[in-house]
């Protein structure tokens, strides 16, 4: 699912706020930050938090170690920031 507004997709907006926060955020925290910063304004619906959580989880499942996201708790996500050349020695940093 690719949802865009302006120049950022929903996933890109989530990655941007997680990177800027420098620490894991809840889905609601990500949604609030994307709207506050003007990166993405989610449509008004009751399940938008479930939609974003699902999109990020699908990205993690599909890309595995190459995903820019990491699940760090129930509905808490962080950003992967360091990747080494040797994929067997990749390091994921959580903030």
Contact 74, 81 (CB under 8 A): no
35-68 burial, b at 16+ Cβ within 10 Å, e below that, comes to eeeebbebeeeeebbebbbebbeebbeeeeeebb
pTM of the model: 0.74
Cα separation of 8 and 39, whole Å?
7
- Reading the block at residue 84, the tokens are 């080494």
Q: Distance between CA 15 and CA 69 in Å, rounded?
A: 7
Q: Tens digit of pLDDT per residue, the chain (95 long)?
A: 444 445 688 899 999 999 999 999 999 999 999 989 988 877 777 888 899 999 999 999 999 989 999 999 888 999 986 554 444 444 454 44
């Amino acid at each position: 699912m690719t949802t865009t507004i302006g120049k950022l997709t929903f996933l890109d907006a989530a990655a941007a706020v997680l990177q800027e926060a420098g620490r894991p955020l809840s889905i609601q925290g990500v949604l609030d930050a994307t709207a506050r910063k003007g990166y993405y304004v989610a449509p008004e619906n009751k399940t938008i938090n479930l939609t974003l959580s699902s999109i990020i989880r699908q990205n993690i499942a599909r890309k595995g170690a190459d995903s820019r996201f990491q699940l760090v708790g129930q509905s808490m996500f962080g950003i992967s920031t360091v990747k080494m050349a040797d994929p067997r020695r990749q390091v994921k940093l959580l903030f």
